[in-house]
Amino acid sequence: MPSQHPHSPFRTVKGLRYASTTTGDLHLDLYVPDCPAPALRPVVLYLHGGGWLTGSRTDHPDRPAGLARRGIAVASADYRFAHEAAYPAQLHDVRQAVRWLRREGPSHGIGNGPIGVWGASAGAHIAALLALTTTDETDPESTVQALVGYFGVYDLTARADSIRPDPSRPIPDELLKTQWPAHLPQPPSPRLRQALLAGTNEENLTEDHLRTLSPVTYAHAASPPTLLLHGTGDAVTSPQQSSRFATAIRSAGGTARSLLLDGANHEDPAFEEPEVIGAVAEFFNDNLCTDLHPGQISVASPHTPRLPRLTEADLDDAQHTLRRAITSGPRSTGPQHFPLQDENGALNGPFGLMLHTPDLGAPLQELGSAIRYRATLNDRTREIAILTVAAATSSEFETYAHERVGRAAGLTEAELTALRTGTFTSTDPSEAAAYAACRRLLLDDTPWSDTEYDATQQLLGNNQLLELTVLVGYYRTLAQLMNVFDVGAP
């Protein structure tokens, strides 16, 4: 749905107290469009960045102003910093802000319908926690119905060590000039900031703390519609944080997409450009406007595939031959854990891409069939390996498909979550060795030492180590194909 009022006048109401805490009052600023039907006007809570230790609701005013010019009311709110109060204080604060908007908003010309949340950097992290951990069952007055994140960090666990930002990119001047709390090291390290948020010290900060602080932990099928924007030139937070978080939400059954801004850095002016603010406004309009379907929230329109989905009527002889090879044999006679084709007969996932180039697709599918059905790896180990690749490459389809296959192979929900978040462990030495080998292949391209090869070979044997090495390369190729051509879960 296009933005309705790209140049609407708006008024601001500043310094409204929305909550009182043990460390002082919290305030928000309103940006209220001067347009009719306030009851139907979308309302968005905006949360600023600042590494959980600094920043203000007055930072980057062009963002809320840009939305207000497009007919969307915005409340830009402060929240407590981590050195003042540890998490979940920040979550409590922003829930209070949502309640305030529902309770007091009408007196300021704001409707009391659906509310979206929008955050930047640390604010995106808090916005995501609000969106995913607050439900109608637990706290109906604090729920939000749509989420937008700008260059956020959504996975704080050790898994995120593999997706660090490009060290060659310059740190933006705005961040270099940040005024951190005086009693802290200048600048405080990311781990210190995480420890302060967790309410502990760096030495005692554990993966359990970080998992609790990570929005990706809470992805679920009822997650509100989500749009994540990130610059490919971000020097502070890897853009893979956004793409992987979107994948986690989709894999759980929710609706999410990530939008990459070519070359944009952290807190880049590109995020305030009219076309970017327009995309945010369009997303919120699509998912918050109550006049679209009374009593319901609309969902975003499906995107156009980059390559056409080929049905049987579209195929030449070589493509027909390849399609029969894909859909026959063990893929068709064994258990069907996920749909191989859609209602029109077009193949899902990488198989639809293979049909476009049958000379390459035929040997590619044959290699996949050999890995899947003729290798010596047991079912659990094979699915552990495939899901490790899926997690490392943010492959939505492989996560979707092989979590289902993995359940049938005996993987528990806790194990599936651990594979998704890079924290898998096993008491079976061969499983643990296979997982470690896959991670090594995916995250470190340096040659193997004799010591690590010997240790792995003793646990797995040469045949299984060969199979795992080929499997990682094969599924990484499929993930690359689907990421380039934007193929997701069916």
Output the pLDDT for position 251. 87
Amino acid of residue 315 = L
DSSP 341: B
Nearest to 228 by CA among 238, 214, 242: 242
Output the pLDDT for position 94. 98
Compute CA distances 426 → 256, 423, 430, whole Å: 31, 10, 9
Hunting for tokens 């001067």 — which residue is that?
34
Output the pLDDT for position 192. 97
Output the pLDDT for position 102. 92
Q: How far apart are CA 196 and CA 210, in angstroms?
A: 11
Q: How far apart are CA 448 and CA 452, in angstroms?
A: 6
Q: How far apart are CA 181 and CA 183, in angstroms?
A: 6
User: Residue 148 is inside which H or E element, if any?
Assistant: strand 146-150
Nearest to 434 by CA among 461, 411, 410: 461
Cis peptide before 363 (omega within 30 of 0): no
Output the pLDDT for position 391. 87
Output the pLDDT for position 5. 42
CB atoms within 10 A of CB 259: 16
Tokens of 455: 């240790």
Nearest to 207 by CA among 218, 194, 188, 220: 194
Beta bridge partners of 120: 150
Quick check: 340 and 327 in contact, CB under 8 A?
A: yes
Compute CA distances 64 → 217, 281, 340, 478, whole Å: 29, 10, 44, 40
Output the pLDDT for position 109. 84
347: three-class secondary structure by DSSP: strand
Quick check: 117 and 283 in contact, CB under 8 A?
A: no
Output the pLDDT for position 135. 82
Q: Per-residue DSSP letters for 318-357?
A: HHHHHHHHHHSTHHHHS--SS-SB-TTSPBPHHHHHHTTS
Hunting for tokens 């919290």 — which residue is that?
26
Q: How far apart are CA 121 and CA 152, in angstroms?
A: 4
Hunting for tokens 């030449």 — which residue is that?
316
Q: How far apart are CA 256 and CA 249, in angstroms?
A: 6
* Per-residue pLDDT of the chain in tens (490 residues, 90 and over written 9): 334 445 668 899 999 999 999 899 999 999 999 865 555 578 999 999 999 999 999 999 999 999 999 989 999 999 999 999 999 999 999 999 999 999 998 888 887 789 999 999 999 999 999 999 988 777 889 999 999 999 999 999 988 777 788 788 899 999 999 999 999 999 999 999 999 999 999 999 999 999 999 999 999 999 999 999 999 999 999 999 999 999 899 988 899 999 999 899 999 999 999 999 999 999 999 898 754 433 333 333 444 578 888 988 899 999 999 999 998 877 666 667 778 887 778 898 999 999 999 999 999 999 999 998 899 999 999 999 999 999 888 888 898 889 989 999 999 988 988 888 778 999 999 999 999 999 999 888 789 999 999 999 999 999 999 999 999 999 999 999 998 998 887 7
Output the pLDDT for position 99. 95
Output the pLDDT for position 445. 79
CB atoms within 10 A of CB 125: 29
Provide φ and ψ at 383, rounded to 5°: -70, -35
How much is the CA Rg of the chain, to the nearest whole Å?
24
Residues, the chain = 490
Query: CA 270, 275, 278: angle at the middle one, nearest 5?
Result: 115
Quick check: 165 and 234 in contact, CB under 8 A?
A: yes
Q: How far apart are CA 87 and CA 85, in angstroms?
A: 7
Nearest to 108 by CA among 50, 24, 30, 186: 30
Determine the distance from the C-alpha atom of residue 389 to the mean position of all C-alpha atoms in its chain, rounded to a whole number.
Answer: 17
List, in order, residues 6 or more apart from 112 with CB less than 8 Å away.
Answer: 39, 101, 102, 105, 106
Q: What is the dihedral of CA 379, 385, 391, 393, to 10 degrees?
A: -130
How far apart, in Å, do the first and last CA atoms of the chain sit?
A: 24
Output the pLDDT for position 36. 56
Q: How far apart are CA 465 and CA 438, in angstroms?
A: 10
Output the pLDDT for position 37. 55
77: three-class secondary structure by DSSP: strand
Q: How far apart are CA 98 and CA 116, in angstroms?
A: 9
